[in-house]
Amino acid sequence: MATTIAVHSFRGGTGKSNVTANLAATMARRGRRVGVVDTDIQSPGIHVLFGLDEEKMGRSLNDYLWGRCGIDEVAHDVSAVVKGAGVTVGGLYLIPSSIKAGEIARVLREGYDVERLNTGLHEFIDHLKLDYLFIDTHPGLNEETLLSITISDVLLIILRPDRQDYQGTAVTVEVARKLDVPRLLLIVNKALAALDFDALRQQAEHAYQAPVAAVLPLSEDVVQLASSGIFCLRYPDHAWTREIDRIVDQITR
Amino acid sequence: MSTRAAEVSSSGAAGHSAGAYLLRVSLFAVLYFGLARLADSVLVFVEAGEPVTPVWPPAGLALAGLLLWGYRFWPAIPLGHALAYLSVLDHPPLPLLTLSLAVAGNTAAALVSAYLLPRFAGFDAALERLQDVLGLLVVGALVGGAVAATVGVASLWLTGIIPESAWGPVWRVWWIGDVLGVLGAAPAVLAWGARPRRAVARERGWEAVSLLVAAVAVSGLVFRLGIGESYAIFPVLVWAALRFGQRGAATTMVVVLGMAAWYTTHGYGPFVEARVSESLVDLQTFIAVVAVTALILAATVSERQRAQADLRQANEELETRVIERTAQLSQAYDELSRLHEQEVEYLREVDKVTGAAAAVESGSVLPESLTGVAQRPDKLGQLARVFRRMAQEVVARESRLKEQVAQLRIEIDEAKKVRQVAEITETEYFQQLRQRAQQLRNPRGA
């Protein structure tokens, strides 16, 4: 039975895609078969982290949603990214969203069949015998996001220590509870080093009545690498990487 | 004063050629000769067929000359004396040995006195101090006269001119003549020859002439015409001493004493007695009293005037010093005031820094006044700059901290949240989604 993990944040810029990619890569290196779906159709981006060339990307989630092809045809094997000496990679597959302006405009204009997305995701899991499926959602709470939350076994909510994020997260948590999400984990990202992390964690757990998987610092090293690669792979011994490991531990527990 | 006498003698020794020396010795000798001839010819009593000179002025000239010009002019004394003796032909000739010894005695007397005076009395030839007058009296007159009389009488006795029994009277006559000669003549020569400590004002010319006329007139009245008493001369002497110092006193004295001696020896005036010996005593007593009185009075007056002048000068110096010291004090006070102002200003600046510190402590804005202090180039300025930087850093850190605390505090607007959640959950889509959640999670299981 595969575990579906929806990664969500109320606003953009929380580092959602970056954390998702790192979690997925870490899991794959642990021998799991992992899938990542970029459902952020309006502003896609996670494919860059996996080194997928935009020109040669080929088919995308958009093609499946419009019924142009089956889900198996849009899944890209990106296992090569995480391969390394003495590492057994279970498998890492990515369904990217199209970055073509026309495709994005069409989604915005016409919307898409959310039911078909759900069906596709299940097929993706079955087809590639995935252990874990990460859904990189669009920020906010639109229909597609609500669906992602609904079907997820684990909902990861990423927030920054910021007033607007606090309020939005409260709404998301409340909505997720109403949708009976089995497991809810919070990740505080981009926390300034000067902050008291433990206090922040306690505050958040108290405010949302939900466990905080990690408080990730605003790391200059992470910022520098930006979207050009997966940080955990580049810096396996970094403190930030260890935090990601700990999150993975909690998800796979 | 010994140094002044030495100065005079050394200036005579130095810088003069042998010719100048001979000229001065000759001049000195001629003066001596003249004075001796005068005394011999005019100031002579004849007692029992023997001529007696009541006063011997050359002794005074000899001593004064040596004191003023130096010992090395001593040859003028025997020279003048020998000339005087040889020029007189009518007295019985003395053996050469007798004459030589007597002349040697006179010379020795002057030399001994001139030698002793500066050493015993700190002698000053101007005679403006009492000690100088007393020195002249004791060492110059009494001692010098004794030397001359002793050597002279001994020479007479040794060469058989006088019998041993004549020692006493002859010695006495000789001695008194020399003593009075020194007292009468030396002061005038010394006073005019030495530099006075204070010059007498020149504008007193008419008064000086009047004094001389008065001296001559009174002396003439008393000693020639026999009108009045001998002490009538004292007011004139007092006038001279008070107004003209030692020069005036000594000069007037010479005039008065000269006229007294002249007229008395020529048979006029109050001192003429039935017996010559009594006249001699009267005249000699008068000379001694007048000389000592005039000299002491003049010296005392000079001392008093000098003391007044010294006092005036001391006063002036004191006043000058007071003015100078006052100026210095005023300057020091100004400097102190300046320093004080600086200090007050400095403390004011320090107050600004402490004020700024208090402001920072109470959490208010760093005051603008600190900017001025921070521009000072000294340590206080450095302190102000460092403090300002620190305070700014503290403020920045504090605001960062406040921001962080705000980030830490998770405040959720519950009402807003409820509204936002409701907006979503009340949609038809959400309701459907909830109902179908189970089916959606497991489509194949449905």
Q: What φ, ψ does residue A205 adopt, rounded to 5°?
A: -65, -35
Residue B313: other Cβ atoms inside 10 A: 10
Say which residues have a Cβ less than 8 Å from residue B433's Cβ, sequence separation at least 6: A146, A147, A150, A179, B440
Question: Mind listing the pLDDT tens digit for each residue in A144-191?
Answer: 889 889 999 999 999 998 888 999 999 999 999 999 999 999 999 998
A122 and B444 in contact by Cβ < 8 A? Answer: yes
The amino acid that residue A200 corresponds to is L
Residue of A nearest to B404 (CA): A195
Distance CA A31, CA A36 (A): 15
Angle of the B428-435 helix axis to the A143-151 helix axis, nearest 10:
20
Q: What is the complex's ipTM, to 2 decimals?
A: 0.87
Distance CA A78, CA A82 (A): 8
Of the given ranges (A69-83, B177-191, B322-336, B396-410), which has the lowest mean pLDDT? B396-410
Q: How many CB pairs under 8 A join A and B?
A: 69
- Under 8 Å between Cβ of A149 and A176: yes
Residue of A nearest to B408 (CA): A200
- pLDDT given for residue B14 in this prediction: 47
Provide, as residue numbers in chain A, all residues whose Cβ is less than 8 Å from the Cβ of B437: 150-151, 179-180
| Residue B130, CB-side half-sphere exposure with 13 Å CA sphere | 8
Higher per-residue pLDDT: B334 or B85:
B334
Dihedral sign for Cα atoms in the order B175, B179, B180, B186: positive
Provide, as residue numbers in chain A, all residues whose Cβ is less than 8 Å from the Cβ of B432: none
- pLDDT given for residue B7 in this prediction: 42
| Best CA proximity match to B302, nearest among B65, B132, B61 | B132
pTM here is 0.52
Mean pLDDT over A220-249 rounds to 88
Report the alpha-carbon angle B359-B363-B365, nearest 5. 60
- pLDDT given for residue B47 in this prediction: 66
Tell me the three state secondary structure of residue B42: helix
| Best CA proximity match to B437, nearest among A35, A141, A178, A171 | A178
Average pLDDT, chain B: 85
Distance CA A154, CA A165 (A): 20
The beta strands (E) that lie in A89-178 are given as 91-95, 132-136, 154-159
Distance from CA of B391 to the nearest CA of A (A): 20
Q: Interface of chain B against chain A, CB under 8 Å?
A: 400-401, 404, 406-413, 416-417, 420-421, 424-425, 429-430, 433-434, 437, 440-441, 443-444
CA–CA distances in Å: residue A219 to residues A15, A193, A222, A240: 12, 8, 5, 8
pLDDT tier at B90 (50, 70, 90 boundaries)?
low
A166 and B412 in contact by Cβ < 8 A? Answer: yes
Distance CA B199, CA B212 (A): 19
Residue B94 has pLDDT above 80, yes or no: no
Burial B172-192 (b: 16+ CB within 10 A, else e): ebbbbbbbbbbbbbbbbbbbe
What Rg, from alpha-carbon coordinates, does chain B have? 55
Distance from CA of B395 to the nearest CA of A (A): 16
Question: Mind listing the pLDDT tens digit for each residue in B417-436?
Answer: 999 999 999 988 888 888 88
Share of chain B above pLDDT 90, in %: 36
Distance CA B37, CA B81 (A): 9
pLDDT tier at B199 (50, 70, 90 boundaries)?
low
Provide, as residue numbers in chain A, all residues whose Cβ is less than 8 Å from the Cβ of B409: 203
Q: What φ, ψ does residue A139 adopt, rounded to 5°?
A: -60, 155
| Residue B4, CB-side half-sphere exposure with 13 Å CA sphere | 17
CA B113 to chain centre: 29
Q: Which residue has the tokens 């109902």?
A: B435
